[in-house]
Structure 1
Amino acid sequence: MKKRWTAAALVLALVLALWVPGVQAAGGRVPIYLGDMEVDYMAEEILSELSIAGKTAKEQIALVYDWIIDNFHREGTAETAYFTDAELSEANNGAFGQAKREARNRGELVLRPDFETVSTVLPGGMMVFSVDSFLYLRTVAREIMMGRVGTCAHYAAALAVLLGHLGFDCRVIEGSFLSNGQWVEHKWNYVLLDGQYYWLDVRMDQSFSASGAGSRNFFLVADTDQWAERHQWDHGYSDWLSANAAEIEAQYQAEIAEAAGPWSRCSDWAKPYLEKADAAGLIPDTMAGADFTAGITRAEFAAVAVRLYQALGGKMPAAGGASPFSDTQDADVLAAFALGIVQGVGGGRYAPSSTLTRAQAMTMLGRVYELLATGAVGDGSSLPAESEPFVDDGDIAAWAKHYVYFFVANGVVDGMGGNRFAPNGTMTREQALKVAALAVETLGSTL
């Protein structure tokens, strides 16, 4: 396994140099993209013609399989271009490419690794690329997607790419097929489904369908001995795939984690701030795996505020004593309360699972700086805050106003567009951590 993944990593690095690329595949699988923007663009367009939603994994594979049988042709000349140069130029340079890069950075898609890059080395050192390699598939799949005419190799390449987009690891196998008593050169597929590889031969099923013999003779066959009755090939590669099916699935998950980093669910703009917040020790363990675009809870915010206090040089109060709140014993909440950074919501409650408004969040973080700068928590009036008022200044409560404009004046906080602050809007986890990270970066030297 190590040898094949090492080769895969080399090719993956090459692809990433060309394109550092979507969308969760149906059934919870993550799309596997080839890594060539033109081919991946065409694959998305083709799949958009199919009703994938609500289908089982086997039904999804069958939809793609039948589409190829109905739309690709073995004989003739490609007289129609199904995609224009303008479309493919947009795929390379426009919104599609940008969207895929962002999606990959979020761990929403992975690139297809090469397990077998070179099949043969000829005399003189010339390498013959494997039919299952990126460099082979990008050329062959592109040809048939453009003109919809091709050989068995084209059919197998297109099926591998299309099923990959649906989250199935689909490989191309080279060998021969028994036709009319003779073995002829042929290509087909091997697809990973629910932890096991199955055989597919869409080109021969198309041929059988045309002759009235049905279109599912070579569809998802599990028995390799049965498959070998009409197919011959070097079993080394397919045996390796079958033996390592579980590890291959695990490797895709590792690729997702590596691509997304710990911030797999955050906005693109937030990632650098989350990295800064993490480096400063501001992100509590309770946020591991959280959706950072969602509202931050009062308990989580107390934890961030306490960590900001420590990052700015504050000393934690001694732990102990009964909780003043009936609904939480959280140590960070109790520490933040002891410091005067947070308060309850009335009735002896803290409401740890409730979210915060932007004004409330600025007040709590402002108290952290105020406590460190002046030795006590007040109303923020001692903090310098020379800044032009927001157009919705009247919506900012008096108890929050000094803190809001202090952070604005110091470049820690900005508005929401149109010179609005939106004080009553929900503070998200990524927004809160951005403010905390910038507070350390911008204000740390002032204490």
Structure 2
Amino acid sequence: MQVSFACTDHGLKAPRNGEHSKQNATSPNTASKARARFRTVALIARSLGSFTHRYHHNLKESTAKLTGMKYRNLGKSGLRVSCLGLGTWVTFGGQISDEVAEQLMTIAYESGVNLFDTAEVYSGGKAEIILGNIIKKKLWRRSSLVITTKLYWGGKAETERGLNRKHIIEGLKGSLQRMQLEYVDVVFANRPDSNTPMEEIVRAMTHVINQGMSMYWGTSRWSAMEIMEAYSVARQFNLIPPVCEQAEYHFFQRDKVETQLPELYHKIGVGVVSWSPLACGIITGKYENGVPESSRASMKPYQWLREKVMSEDGRKQQAKLKELAHIAEKLSCTLPQLAIAWCLRNEGVSSVLLGSSNPTQLTENLGAILVIPKMTAGIASEVDHILGNRPHSKKDYHH
């Protein structure tokens, strides 16, 4: 934060030739008053300078006194987001009723969550409609919320998908209509689009921001190289670069978030909003003895998840989760809480999106906030030892 002070005509402006004697004649105290005023301004500037430095340091992560929720900057932008957000992927308009969706949003909001994530493709647009209806019904201040949506799959027509200028603008307008909002806080480009030049994507995202339809833009499921290209294009043409990447991150999916994205965070300020901290429910431990009938993996559209759980890798993962449960026990928390707090130990992770389908589950997951201080280097090392999948970063090779 910079503080600047303008010298005005009130005795701080240097007199022009011939004016000095006039000023002295009419007001002999002008010069001394000006010096005194300047000294005051200098003192204020100096004190503000030292204050703002401390203020910025404290801002890195702050805690809401009433709820205990922690807030971080979204990447290196100035936007403050709750370190736990609520996602609406398979729940809103899909697995749960509108009443339960409202319960979940209320619990989240009252627990200090300000980040709510959706996408034009979720439940064919229903997730955005339900999200918007709840916000309108609850009369929450729009300025207290951070609403994010993702664009790519908007409809069946050839022109209703992708990241071309037409779909980015029309798709976002459609999302805003469904949510009954004037703007979103972040619009994400959901997967890279090889059919559209990067310059067109960045120009279109800059346009929707300049038009007030979104405050920021980000990427979702992009590679580090693609994000870097978007940043380079933005710098080359004086456009707006992305501020964060949405990426899958959990015990069994680590490489991208731990080795590729930290470099982007430090070099260009791109942070991470991570999703699936419980690996589609695998990390809850409910698949320890096979696939329960009520679970997601038992449903027809999730045959891939069933196969994953039942595979040899899946069985190995369950064995590791049994060991990790002992660490959770030692920390007096549940396995899901340990998994979520483990994601948040990463400095580049701005927020972790939770995807809960019932109030009890959401309340438990929000309790991960209390586990973050317990995630010491020693605990992280124990987790690494059990998982045996710690990716090698560039730093590791220097030792």
How does the TM-score come out when normalised to structure 2?
0.21
Q: Which has the higher contact order (CA 8 A, sep 6+)?
A: 2
How does the TM-score come out when normalised to structure 1?
0.19
